[in-house]
């Protein structure tokens, strides 16, 4: 998954959530280095199929205050495969 998101820009961090049993929860977070990379990644990855899963990609925390904080640290995208 990190490779998929990394193909769209420089990934600062990437995290997939897992359930208590260690299985995938179907949700993850990707932080890009720049706002431009994140903005470019959204339309390219939203509704893309990866390993049989349809991705749903959007900006996490789109309220202006949160967005400014995220831009300072690298913009966060949320992804929920198939969800």
Cα 28–Cα 18–Cα 48 angle in degrees, nearest 5: 35
Mean pLDDT, rounded, for 62-81: 56
Confidence at 44, pLDDT banded by 50, 70, 90? very high
- Specify the pTM: 0.65
Give Dmax (Cα) for the chain: 37
């Amino acid at each position: 998954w990190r490779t998929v998101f990394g193909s769209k820009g420089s990934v600062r961090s990437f995290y997939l959530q897992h359930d208590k049993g260690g299985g995938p929860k179907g949700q993850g977070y990707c932080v890009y280095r720049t706002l431009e990379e994140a903005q470019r990644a959204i339309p390219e990855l939203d509704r893309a199929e990866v390993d049989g899963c349809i991705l749903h990609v959007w900006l996490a925390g789109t309220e202006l205050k949160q967005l400014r904080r995220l831009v300072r640290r690298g913009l966060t995208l949320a992804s929920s495969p198939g969800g």
